[in-house]
Structure 1
Amino acid sequence: MIITVTPNPALDITYAVPSVALGESHRVASVSERAGGKGLNVAAVLTSMRHRSVAVAPVGATDVDLFASDLGARRVPHHLVPSPCPTRRSVAVVEAGGRATLFNEPGVGQSQRVWDQVAHEVTALAPQASVLTVSGSFPPGTDPELVRRLTRLAHEAGLRLVLDVSGVHLSRALALRPDLVKPNRIEAAQTLTGLGRGEVPSVPGAARALVAAGARAAIVSDGTNGLVLVHDDLALRAYLPRSLSGNPTGAGDALTAALAADLDGIGDLPTGREDWAAVLRRGVAWSAAAVLQPVAGAVDPADVDRLLRTVEIEEIRP
């Protein structure tokens, strides 16, 4: 089983419009509202792909019933921690051509009591699980040691760990050797700048620097250019030969879900080129399948099967 932690959940609101013109009024063709945040999306994708997971997240007390109802309707197992802080909103305006414009509220800082309860939920679930993921942003004022604390908890419980976080929260955890870190290109650069590594010239360079800083393996995503893995002396790029049109909002969360599902299945990081290539193919296929969905947190297994055959893998030489 996979435990997903969402430090900064949101009520995700998606507006579909023909196109966006700044300064103009727009008629919304359709609107959806659902429990969101990166870790909740990860759990929802895992559910779509028939993998066992449970989502843990602090949610404003006035929104707990709404979140529980939506997650229950989607059959996403969850342990929600009620919080006195209101839940933020995240608005995605998606044009017919697939371009998405996001407006993300920052959230409200949680008390230490709430974070202690989140850690307690993870500890209680750990004996039934093999993988922990921590995904997304953090409310202002969050203790920068929080991810380091969860990393230590994962190690002590024997859980494999996937971190889709960035900045100080990632940099503080790297020294504890998390199993797999998965920032995007911009997040990786920001994290490495905070570590005093200076400007990183390339995506492979960023992945190598994250491994040098402590991660056992690093995957850095770069939008339609695909992703780059570095593990020990191996560096691979995985990508689709043709980009897809759609809503890219949940693509990274689907990638995290795929990686967690593979770690859950094999019990540790892959070893060798072919094993990693198989993992990366699934990761790109899940991520691409998410682009074809109108909202984040969903994939169609039929899309995954079709896309899996098209993923390209190439080795990156030093």
Structure 2
Amino acid sequence: MIVTLTPNPAADVTYGVDAVHLGDSHRVHDMTERAGGKGLNVASVLTGLGEHAVAVAPVGAADLAAWAADLTDRGVSHRLVESPSATRRSIAVVEADGRTTLFNEAGQPQPDAVWTRVAEALAALSDQAEVLTVSGSLPAEAPDDLVARFVVEAARRGLHTVVDCGGAALAAALPAGPRLVKPNRTEAVATLGVDAGTSPRALARLLLERGAGAAVVTDGASGLELVAPDVSLRARLREPLRGNPTGAGDAMTAALAVELRDASGLPSGVDAWAEALRRAVAWSAAAVLQPVAGVVDPDDAARLFQSVQIEESPA
């Protein structure tokens, strides 16, 4: 089983419009709203593709019943922790040509008691789980070492961890030894405090030096760079896709979590990593083709799997 933690969940609101014109009014021709946030999207992708996942997240009391109903309707197993803090929203405005503009609210501070109950929920699931993913931002005033605490406790209970965050939270988590980290290039730069022009490969190497077991640094349509102790690979689609990128990174996290579960840790060797990265890029690309985050069509994923290019990075 894979457990996904979302420290800062959001109601994902998607508006469909013909085109965005700054300063103008816009008629929304399509709108969806669902329980979201990066870890919930990871669990949704896994569930939709037949994997066993449970989502854990703190959710405002006013939203708790509606979120539980939404996730239940979608078949996503969950342990929602009630919070007195209101749940934030994330708004994606999707134009007819697929261009997407995102507006992400900051999360409200959570009382310490909420983090204690989140940790208890994770502990209750740990005996059945092999992998924990921790995804997304932290709400305002959350301690920088919050993710590190979850990584340490997961390791103590025998779980492998995938961490998809950046900045101070990831910097604090690296010495705790997460099995795999997956920031994007901007997040990695902020985490490491290096020049913005640093290559994804160099960023990934630095993440390993600071404690990660392996690092994947994503760079939009340019693909990703993996650095592990035994291999360094690049992966990308032959042709970039247009669509809604909101849940693409979460689908990639889902795929990588499956690889860690199946391998009982990190894949070993070029061939195993190449297979893992093909699936990760294919799932991520398939998510771009969906109008909302947290969904991957298995037929899209299978087709795109054949379009992923893998190269060994130079030493």
What TM-score results when the alignment is normalised by the length of structure 2?
Answer: 0.99
TM-aligned CA distance change 1:52 to 1:21, over 3 Å: same
Equivalent residue number for residue 205 of structure 1: 202
Equivalent residue number for residue 273 of structure 2: 276
- What amino acid sits opposite 1:11 in the alignment? A
Equivalent residue number for residue 256 of structure 1: 253
Q: Quote how far apart the aligned CAs of 1:120 are.
A: 0.5
- What amino acid sits opposite 1:92 in the alignment? A
The separation in 1 between residues aligned to 2:197 and 2:155, in whole angstroms, is: 29
- 1:1-318 superposed matches below 5 A: 1-193=1-193, 197=194, 201-318=198-315
The separation in 2 between residues aligned to 1:79 and 1:234, in whole angstroms, is: 37
- What amino acid sits opposite 1:290 in the alignment? A
The separation in 1 between residues aligned to 2:196 and 2:28, in whole angstroms, is: 41
The separation in 1 between residues aligned to 2:56 and 2:87, in whole angstroms, is: 14
The separation in 2 between residues aligned to 1:214 and 1:310, in whole angstroms, is: 32
Q: Quote how far apart the aligned CAs of 1:281 are.
A: 0.2
CA contact (8 A) 2:151 2:161 kept: yes
CA contact (8 A) 1:192 1:198 kept: no
Q: Provide Cα deviations, 1:63-90, integer angstroms capped at 9, x if missing partner.
A: 0011101101100000000000000011
CA contact (8 A) 2:147 2:170 kept: yes
What is the percentage of aligned positions where both structures have the same residue? Answer: 56
- What amino acid sits opposite 1:298 in the alignment? V
The separation in 2 between residues aligned to 1:234 and 1:31, in whole angstroms, is: 44
Q: CA RMSD in A?
A: 0.9
The separation in 2 between residues aligned to 1:311 and 1:103, in whole angstroms, is: 30
SS in 1 for 2:137: coil
Q: Tell me, which stretches of 5 or more residues in structure 1 are unaligned?
A: none
The separation in 2 between residues aligned to 1:72 and 1:132, in whole angstroms, is: 21
- What amino acid sits opposite 2:215 in the alignment? A
Q: Quote how far apart the aligned CAs of 1:18 are.
A: 1.2
- Aligned residue-pair number: 315
Q: Quote how far apart the aligned CAs of 1:198 are.
A: 5.1
- What amino acid sits opposite 1:66 in the alignment? A
- What amino acid sits opposite 1:245 in the alignment? R
- What amino acid sits opposite 2:259 in the alignment? D
Q: Quote how far apart the aligned CAs of 1:131 are.
A: 0.1
SS in 2 for 1:58: strand
TM-aligned CA distance change 1:200 to 1:173, over 3 Å: farther
Q: Provide Cα deviations, 1:204-240, integer angstroms capped at 9, x if missing partner.
A: 1111110111101000011111111000142100100
CA contact (8 A) 2:241 2:288 kept: yes
The separation in 1 between residues aligned to 2:282 and 2:160, in whole angstroms, is: 22
SS in 2 for 1:248: coil
CA contact (8 A) 1:43 1:53 kept: yes
The separation in 1 between residues aligned to 2:196 and 2:256, in whole angstroms, is: 28
The separation in 1 between residues aligned to 2:225 and 2:97, in whole angstroms, is: 27
- What amino acid sits opposite 1:288 in the alignment? A
SS in 2 for 1:270: coil
CA contact (8 A) 2:230 2:269 kept: no
CA contact (8 A) 1:200 1:206 kept: no
- What amino acid sits opposite 1:55 in the alignment? A
The separation in 2 between residues aligned to 1:233 and 1:303, in whole angstroms, is: 31
